[in-house]
């Protein structure tokens, strides 16, 4: 289980891109979700908020929506912040529309949108 104090530099954690993408050239959210449920699910509980950051483009791989549902069942809240505008969700290889049926998905492409999102969070 990954644990770090607030504000810690996580660059080293994400340096192994090949591992994170299962040796694909592009992102693979389905495999990442499966890896998360296989390796870190015990870290998720009723007080946990899970933030998923990215464009939800599967690059034509299986999105494994069922793995996302497993996380949702355990967590207090799961939120997906997507830098693409909603009009692009579900176009091409985007599976944002599928994930959006399971979790709250918000457009978040800049600091202003992030500030607005954070401002709407319950205290």
Q: Tens digits of per-residue pLDDT, 16-52? A: 544 555 555 677 899 999 999 999 999 999 999 999 9
What pLDDT sits at residue 8?
Answer: 77
Phi, psi of 52 (to 5 degrees): -110, 125
CATH code assigned to 11-120: 3.90.190
Cα–Cα distance, 88 to 103 (Å, whole number): 17
Q: Is the dihedral of CA 4, 9, 14, 16 positive or negative?
A: negative
Asked whether the beta carbons of 75 and 45 are under 8 A apart, the reply is yes
Please tell me the total number of residues recorded for the chain in this structure. Answer: 123
SS3 92: coil
- How far is CA 77 from each of CA 5, 63, 67, 106, rounded to the nearest angstrom? 21, 20, 15, 14
What pLDDT sits at residue 15?
Answer: 58
What pLDDT sits at residue 65?
Answer: 98
What percentage of the chain reaches a pLDDT higher than 90?
72
Cα–Cα distance, 25 to 40 (Å, whole number): 24
């Amino acid at each position: 289980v990954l644990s770090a104090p607030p504000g810690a530099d996580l660059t080293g954690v994400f340096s192994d891109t090949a591992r994170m993408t299962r040796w694909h050239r592009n992102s693979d959210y389905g495999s990442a979700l499966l890896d998360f449920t296989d390796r870190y699910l015990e870290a998720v509980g009723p007080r946990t908020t899970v933030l998923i950051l990215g464009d939800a483009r599967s690059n034509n791989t299986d999105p494994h929506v069922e793995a996302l549902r497993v996380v949702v069942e355990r967590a207090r809240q799961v939120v997906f912040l997507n830098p693409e505008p909603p009009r692009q969700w579900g176009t091409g290889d985007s599976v944002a529309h599928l994930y959006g049926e399971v979790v709250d998905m918000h457009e978040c492409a800049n600091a202003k949108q992030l500030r607005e999102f954070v401002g709407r969070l319950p205290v």
